[in-house]
Amino acid sequence: MSAEKVKIGVIGVGHLGRWHVQQLKMIDRADLVGIFDSNPERSRQIAGEFSTREFAEVNQLLVHCDAVSIVTPTTTHFEYAKMALERGKHVFVEKPVTERIEQGETLLALEKESGLKFQVGHIERFNPAILALENTIVNPLFIESHRLANFNPRGTDVAVVLDLMIHDIDLILSFIDSPVKSIHASGVPIISATEDIANCRLEFENGCTANVTASRISTRKMRKMRFFQPNAYISVDFLDGSSDVYYLADPRDQNPGDNLAFSLGQIGDGASKKEIRYVRFEKKDINPLNYELSLFVRSILEDQPTAVTLKEAVRDLVVAEAILKNIEEHALLVKTNWRI
């Protein structure tokens, strides 16, 4: 694309959509041309707050932009993304990409046919704690993940697997280059029509196992992922934005990053002696939303692959739907054996 800026519009300016508007106004290579929201009052409010134009219809917005950021309920992602692609617009859409796999596959076909850019908002890929691990080898045999949140009515249009766990599914699949072999899952709807808490065990063909828990009815927040691998333990704290790495090293070796490491002692004797080292990795001054939107804009202007592709997002959705199916099967078993 030869233009110096991407003309971009935002579809959906609720709680998260407002942040998209704010960050796009701050990106030099983005030209925010306007917004659309199904709630006219909300649209007027956000347009006034950020001095941008409000559009009464999506089609009117699409006429004036090169790309859109879709920040609407999951149930409407497919409708708006399909509309944008068919009108020749690049698409950024919040996670999960669609509600159903077949919708994602339809978008994949449209993306391929059009040659347009399509990025999905798996924002945890750009969490400072993950970015800080860019020079760290992550090759786990076991993963433990907990994503616990206080209840909020936003997001309850879908089960917690698609609302919260999808973040961790995406991260795990981006680290583990191996097909999922088996899934065991359970979940319970507590105050919503769909599951509010869920746990699954993913077993991969390469031998890695991931135990993943997500809840949106917790009394305290937690967003952590732990990787266990030969000679290393990595603890990622998404809320704190840091990663703690404990690893074994030859006392005589000095690897990149070792100048930041603390020695916690030694184990073994003679040639088998190993030093236990600890280092905390952090990336300061990174706004994950600004970063991922900036990468989307750059992919359009410089004709580069998007940071999180539609193909990857559909892959995530395939695993998420398999988890939901497993939860449904487990629920039938529970109803048979328990009085509910």
Q: Above 70 in pLDDT, residue 258?
A: no
pLDDT at 291: 98
Residues whose CB is less than 8 angstroms from the CB of residue 244 and which lie 6 or more positions away in sequence, other chains included: 234, 235, 237, 278, 279, 280, 281
Q: How many CB atoms lie within 10 A of CB 76?
A: 16
**pLDDT (tens digit, 9 = 90+) per residue, 154-184?**
667 788 999 999 999 999 999 999 999 999 9
- DSSP letters of 55-77? -SSHHHHHHT-SEEEE-S-HHHH
Tell me the sheet residues that pair with 7.
31
pLDDT at 272: 75
**pLDDT (tens digit, 9 = 90+) per residue, 44-86?**
999 999 999 999 999 999 999 999 999 999 999 999 999 999 9
- For tokens 């970015």, name the residue: 131
pTM assigned to the model: 0.91
Q: Using 50, 70 and 90 to split pLDDT, how confident is the model at 330?
A: confident
236 burial level (CB within 10 Å; 0-12, 13-18, 19+):
buried
Long-range contacts of 235-241 (CB under 8 A, 24+ apart): 236/129, 236/130, 236/133, 237/129, 238/124, 238/127, 238/129, 238/130, 240/129, 241/127, 241/128, 241/129, 241/282, 241/283, 241/286
Residues 40, 55: Cα–Cα separation, whole Å: 9
pLDDT at 72: 97
How would you classify the pairing of strands 142-148 and 209-215? parallel
Q: What kind of architecture, by CATH, is found in domain 6-122+288-307?
A: 3-Layer(aba) Sandwich (3.40)
Domain ranges of the chain: 6-122+288-307, 242-282
